[in-house]
A = this chain, B = another copy of it.
Amino acid sequence: MSRRVLLTGATGFVGRHAGAALARRGFEVHAVARAPGPAAEGVAWHAADLLDGDAARRLVDRIRPTHLLHLAWYVEHGKFWHSPENLRWVAASLELVRAFRQAGGERAVLSGTCAEYEWGHGLCSEASTPTVPATLYGACKLALHQVVEAYARQSGMSAAWGRIFLLYGPHEPPARLVASVARALLRGEPAPCSHGMQVRDFLHAADAADAFAALLDSDVRGAVNIGSGEPVALRDVVQALAARAGRPDLLRLGALPAAPGDPAALTADVSRLRGEVGWSPALSLEAGLDDVVRWWRNDAHAPAGAR
């Protein structure tokens, strides 16, 4: 029997890689976004606004997916942490999951975040690290997770929840760390950074999409960290970028204050992802940064206002 997956957020930072990753695993992919993305082998596009509950229900009733990979959310850089839009996406996600299950859907995977964890514990493990979100975004994702878990248990649906740590890659919002440093250096401008001693887990967006496809393709349930499992200091990341851009002289470590509340370490215990899902990244950090620098060198990618 064919496995039909409804993929939301399909034109997003992770989602744009997910259609192909799902198709490679034999899924019949139905990608949804407000405006269709580029044509791709094995991917059918549907235009719909998930914030319109009726539209979401109609879509599910038409496609009748067996699987759901829900990546869509409000992600505007700098605003998403605290925006009331997070409440709309909890509501829209609940309507979507309910419609999916009521139309016969069998397995759902949704995207969560490391911001569900209480920061300050360093290595975050699904089973033992307390979930005490510091932000509205984290609180909304955690609340959605808890409802989906309870609903899945109650309705006999299989569900998992992928907690994303730090991502980078092409199409990254230009104000984020890797993108902003890469762009400044490639333009020959100074790149001011904080001290850079913060330790994080970095994963290329294409690898994140592939991890979600693998998680959906598995029977693993509950929360699963989506990360590389290789802690790295931010200063090592930006220094590697600077070396690739050929402008280590323009890096200004310590020129900016660290963000208030920024934890010293926030890294992913990936034992569930590796041991139970059986997934590990295809790209090393070095190869991923090569990819990013190559991508930003192509000036056509720069936002119009920034050229």
Chain A interface residues (CB < 8 Å from chain B): 53, 82, 84, 87-88, 90-92, 94-95, 97-98, 101-102, 133, 135-136, 139-140, 142-144, 146-147, 149-151, 153-155
Assembled-state Cα–Cα distance A82/B144 (Å): 17
Pairs A–B under 8 Å by Cβ, sample size 7: A53-B91, A87-B95, A87-B147, A91-B95, A136-B151, A140-B147, A140-B150
Q: Is the CB of B146 within 8 A of A142?
A: yes
A88 CA to B91 CA, complexed, in Å: 8
A139 CB contact (under 8 Å) in B53, B92, B146, B155: B146
Contact with A91, one of B90, B102, B142, B151 (Cβ below 8 angstroms)? B90
Q: When the two chains form the complex, which single residue of B136, B142, B143, B154 contacts A82, counting CB atoms closer than 8 Å?
A: B154
Contact of A84 among B92, B101, B153 (CB under 8 A): B101
| Nearest B residue (CB) for A83 | B154
Is the Cβ of A155 less than 8 Å from the Cβ of B84? yes
CA distance A149 to B97 in the complex (A): 24
CB pair B151 A84 closer than 8 Å: yes
Chain A binding site: helix, strand, loop or mixed by DSSP? helix
Known A-B contacts: A139-B146, A142-B146. Give 6 more (CB < 8 A): A84-B98, A87-B95, A90-B91, A90-B94, A91-B94, A139-B149
Tell me whether B84 and A102 are in contact (CB under 8 A).
yes
Nearest B residue to A135 by beta-carbon distance? B150
Q: How far is the CB of A241 from chain B (nearest CB, A)?
A: 33
Which among B90, B92, B150 is the interface contact of A147 at CB below 8 angstroms? Answer: B90
Residues of B near A153 (CB, < 8 A) are 136
Q: With the chains together, A196 CA to B145 CA distance in Å?
A: 37
Q: CB-nearest residue of chain B relative to A92?
A: B91
Docked Cα-Cα span, A297 to B133, in Å, equals 52
B150 and A133 within 8 A (CB):
yes
Whole-angstrom CA separation of A158 from B90 in the bound complex: 21
Taking the nearest CB of chain B, how far is it from the CB of A143, in angstroms? Answer: 4
Q: Are B84 and A88 in contact (CB under 8 A)?
A: no
**Is B147 in contact with A139, judged by CB distance below 8 angstroms?**
yes
In angstroms, how far is the closest chain B Cβ from the Cβ of A102?
7
| 10 A-B pairs with least C-beta separation | A139-B150, A91-B91, A143-B143, A87-B94, A136-B154, A91-B94, A136-B150, A143-B147, A87-B98, A143-B146
A88 and B95 contact, CB distance less than 8 A: yes
Residues of B close to A147: CB separation below 8 A: 87, 90, 139-140, 143
Contacts of A98 in B (CB 8 A): 84, 87-88
Most buried by B among A87, A102, A144, A151: A87
Complex: how many Å from CA A133 to CA B151?
12
